[in-house]
A and B are shown apart, each in its own frame.
Chain A
């Protein structure tokens, strides 16, 4: 069974600090990984995707992928109260045009 695992949290981080979210996956056939943010009662919104080993930066967000360790992470720098949400990690066997397998999500709270 393909699984994506996340620490469910809750994770509390002071405003302005770095929030670190982690995800592991069991399917070595997974090619691409996505980080979504979901506010309560809303559908997920894409933050970043990553296909290659290493780091990918976009503004305050950095995604990291280590295929050998089957590990994906998301760093949020200069955390803001508006970053408080549930963060979902998802994997796909292709590059985003196939079904996604979601992790359980990590609830992040930024403390002002």
Chain B
């Protein structure tokens, strides 16, 4: 089956610094990837849609200058949290749509746990 990886799996950074999270589709190409954020005991909230070769589409309320998304190739999207603050501490998960048995499904990465101190 299709595999999506994320790196790093866990990161701790100091307030004010920037953190880059990578999302890779390992055995398929993804022109689109999705970035979600999940706070403790809450559901996944879509942050943005990453489009290969063009600008990302951000959901309402998500600061595009704070959460920089780059989708430079068909297998890699990156999310950079700039000037991170403790309230950005969360579980960040990416997904990419792929086909399985003739139907589409979303393949999720394992997630990145960000802690800002």
- Closest Cβ of chain A to B13, distance in Å, is 19
Query: Which of A41, A45, A96 is the one whose CB lies under 8 Å from B108?
Result: A45
Decide: A99 and B49 in contact? CB cutoff 8 A. yes
Query: In the complex where A42-B111, A43-B109, A43-B111 touch, is A96 in contact with B104 (Cβ < 8 A)?
Result: yes
- Counting CB contacts under 8 A, is B12 at the interface? no
* CA gap between A45 and B107 in the complex, in Å: 8
- Most chain A CB within 10 A, of B32, B106, B108, is at B106
Query: In the complex where A44-B108, A45-B108 touch, is A97 in contact with B97 (Cβ < 8 A)?
Result: yes
- Counting CB contacts under 8 A, is A88 at the interface? yes
Query: Which of A43, A46, A94, A97 is the one whose CB lies under 8 Å from B93?
Result: A43
Interfacial residues of chain B within 34-82, with CB under 8 A of chain A in the complex:
34, 36, 42-46, 49
* CA gap between A98 and B98 in the complex, in Å: 10
- Closest Cβ of chain A to B93, distance in Å, is 5
- Closest Cβ of chain B to A38, distance in Å, is 9
Number of interface residues of A (CB under 8 A): 21
In the complex formed, the residue of B with least CB distance to A4 is B43
- Closest Cβ of chain A to B5, distance in Å, is 11
- Counting CB contacts under 8 A, is B110 at the interface? yes
- State the main secondary structure of chain B at its contact with A: strand
Q: Which of A62-70, A74-82, A101-109 contacts B (4 or more CB under 8 A)?
A: A101-109
In the complex formed, the residue of B with least CB distance to A44 is B108
Number of interface residues of B (CB under 8 A): 22
Write the A2-14 contact mask toward B (1 if CB under 8 angstroms, else 0): 0000000000000
Decide: A99 and B46 in contact? CB cutoff 8 A. yes
Query: In the complex where A43-B93, A104-B42 touch, is A49 in contact with B109 (Cβ < 8 A)?
Result: no
Q: Which residues of A contact B105 (CB under 8 A)?
A: 34, 46, 49, 96
Q: Which residues of B contact A98 (CB under 8 A)?
A: 97
Hey, which bits of chain A sit against chain B, CB under 8 A? 34, 41-46, 49, 88, 94-105
Which 9 pairs across A and B sit closest by C-beta, in order of nearness?
A96-B104, A97-B97, A97-B104, A43-B111, A43-B108, A102-B43, A102-B44, A104-B43, A96-B105
